[in-house]
């Protein structure tokens, strides 16, 4: 049916960051990102880990919609 809405290809995440005391006046950032709909969570210590996890979640979505039209622009954004 032509009037059926297309499924949403958006994601909702929560990101929590905090300073972890390492002793001797040292600290580091820690974090948790959670995919709100699935509940899947990932803890990270480095910002690169957060970016890698988000890219993996989003690239999985890109692979799922490849048959719906060109996705070259979206894929280029992750390179």
Q: Show me where the domains of the chain are located.
A: 13-77
What would you report as the CA-atom Rg of the chain, rounded to the nearest whole angstrom? 17
- Tell me: pLDDT of 76 over 80: no
Return the beta strands (E) in the chain as ranges. 13-23, 26-35, 41-44
What pLDDT is stored for residue 62 in this prediction? 54
What pLDDT is stored for residue 77 in this prediction? 47
- Segment 6-55, tens digit of pLDDT: 556 788 999 999 999 999 999 999 999 999 988 999 999 999 999 999 99
**pTM score of the predicted model:** 0.63
- Tell me: pLDDT of 75 over 80: no
């Amino acid at each position: 049916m032509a009037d059926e809405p297309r499924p949403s290809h958006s994601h909702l995440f929560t990101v929590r960051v905090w300073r972890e005391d390492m002793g001797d006046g040292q600290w580091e950032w820690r974090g948790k990102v959670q995919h709100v709909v699935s509940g899947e969570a990932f803890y990270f210590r480095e910002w690169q880990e957060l970016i890698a996890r988000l890219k993996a979640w989003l690239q999985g979505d890109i692979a799922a919609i490849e048959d719906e039209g060109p996705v070259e622009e979206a894929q280029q954004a992750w390179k």
